[in-house]
Chain A
Amino acid sequence: MYKLTRLVTLADPGCLSTLADEARALAVAHAAYRTLIAPTLPGSHFGGDLLAHFAFNDAVQRADFDAALAPLLATPAVASVDGVAYRSGAGGKSDPGLADGVYRVLLLSVDEDTVPATTQRFEAETRMMPHYIPAIRNWQLSRADEAVGARRWTHVWEQEYADADGLMGPYMMHPYHWARIDRWFDPECPDRIVDARLCHSFCAMEASVL
């Protein structure tokens, strides 16, 4: 699956519904396989006002859609956009029928001089989070093909939860997160490889998009 995610920060929040409707119509016209467009929930950090996520069957479809979407996101109503284009990486589903849950995406940037084996270790440990933290129902870790925004985003870490409490509670407070995974992010730890600037964005979803 070929995916595109845009985290849109609005200069004019009153435009959110109009922009969402226009992006939704564009996704239909370009035969998006899956679409999730929703306002971000409180607690998002550099996550934008609108989370827009699209999946396509091939790279050409995605590129055509990206080109069509770009003018919508270049209007004065839009203050900034962070986003990625990527192919689905390794993931899993413990609750593929999850409905009325919460979708969360983390855009992160691994330092350019990180040796590949270290990046692979970071990825492998991150992919084990759902094993230790069952509140993560469905998940996918992918490498970005293209990035826009504040950093050259290298990875997309997507998860789905039954509700926001799953994200704010078990995900954050489990020791596998803070005592194991976070060292890759923590500027005080010598193992750190991830830039401190992250996009942490989440929104309500009607059905799983992973």
Chain B
Amino acid sequence: MTTDDTAAAPMVHAIDEIVAKPGDGKALLEDYLARYAPGARARGMVLEQILVSPPMWLDDQPNTLVFRWSLAGAGAWWQMRFVGGNDPDVAIWWADADARAVSRRRFFASDPADMERLCDV
């Protein structure tokens, strides 16, 4: 690395965007927090933010749920990935969640200011 190796690793973010089936948004959010979040925290993920769109529960149309998690760098990301990717309970959770979703995305991101350091490997 050409940057200061003693500095903390740049934070990275895992973002789940789930479009719940009409009327199921609130229950899906509660289940995510009850069934998925505790294990994710144990894998080193920190839940930074939850957003709901539109900001009211709809019973005939989908709500979009957004969960933004942070991880302490790419090393922590791989730790999360290896543990979560081999946990059958995690796979069961996502199969259940997908059955209740119109669509789902998971993507990974960083602050623009951290991009250069993340790429300097």
Contact = CB atoms under 8 A, between A and B. Distances in A.
Interface size bracket, B side: 20 to 34
B91 interface: yes
B74 A173 contact: yes
A169 B121 contact: yes
Contacts of B109: 179
Given A190-B98, A190-B104, A175 B110 contact: yes
A190 B108 contact: no
B106 interface: yes
Contacts of A182: 81
A152 interface: no
27 contacts: A172-B78, A173-B75, A173-B121, A174-B119, A175-B74, A175-B110, A175-B115, A175-B118, A175-B119, A178-B74, A178-B81, A179-B12, A179-B107, A179-B108, A182-B81, A186-B85, A186-B106, A187-B84, A187-B85, A187-B90, A187-B94, A188-B84, A188-B90, A188-B94, A188-B106, A190-B103, A196-B85
B86 interface: yes
Contacts of A92: none
Interface string B89-113: 0110010001000011111111000
Nearest to B118: A175
Nearest to B98: A190
B67 interface: no
